[in-house]
Amino acid sequence: MKIGLVLFPELTQLDLTGPLEVFSRMPGAEVHLLWKTLDPVASDRGFAMLPTQRFDACTMLDLLCVPGGPGQIALMSDEETLAFLRHVAPGCRLVTSVCTGSLVLAAAGLLEGCRATSHWSSLDQLAMFGVTPVAERVVRDGNRITGAGVTSGIDFALTVAAEMLGEDAAREIQLQIEYDPAPPFASGSPRSADPALLERVSARIAPFIARRRAASEAAAARLRAHP
């Protein structure tokens, strides 16, 4: 069972390391961090991680996963990365993402006509690519499975583990990692957060979301011009 997670500059590390923790505990799984080179890749918080396999050495995957993070903006116009995703996806049992990684899959034309999710702040941008946005932590449509923002990656990965190995195996992994969330505050989603808090956070991130929206618009236009 060969699993590949795309490791790119300025990704949000928990988008990758949450699922990685689950996937690496799946019996028989061979997990790779994929990038163009094997040089260290810095996350959006500044610390580096090491790819384990280059794109050009990866010919087949059972599971492809694209995490999100600020670096996703550049990735949406990175033709080498998009070409790799288009090349490897048809042979995958599951094509997946966490957070705004779904926008990268969409930019590659791999989610058109599907239901999918993303981080709440950018969920609506999926519609630019012919994708139906769904405000849920994990969304499945055929062999596409997408997770919402950041911490949803663990829920997503356990869902994938249940799909590939059965529910009993996924429950064992959940117990091993003591995934028993009980957050101190009910403010982790726009549906539960105080409206004033949501307004304050939305205003703070608005300039960045505008940058992401511009990148999504450009990527969607390219996709329409060269389907």
- Write out the catalytic residue numbers: 99
The CA-based angle 4-8-14, given to 5 degrees, is 75
Here the tokens at position 35 are 């990038």
What are the angstrom distances between the C-alpha of 50 and each of 22, 92, 162?
18, 23, 28
CA-to-CA dists, residue 208 to 60, 81, 136, 142, 173, angstroms: 35, 22, 23, 32, 36
* DSSP state string for 40-80: -EE-TTS-EE--SEEGGG----SEEEE--STTHHHHTT-HH
CA terminus-to-terminus distance, the chain: 31
From the CB of residue 37, how many other CB atoms can be counted at a distance below 10 Å? 10
Do 123 and 117 touch, CB atoms closer than 8 A?
yes
Backbone angles phi, psi at 66, to 5 degrees: -115, 115
132-133 and 115-116 beta bridge pairing: parallel
Pairing of strands 115-116, 144-147: unpaired
* Alpha-carbon gap, residue 105 to 56, rounded angstroms: 19
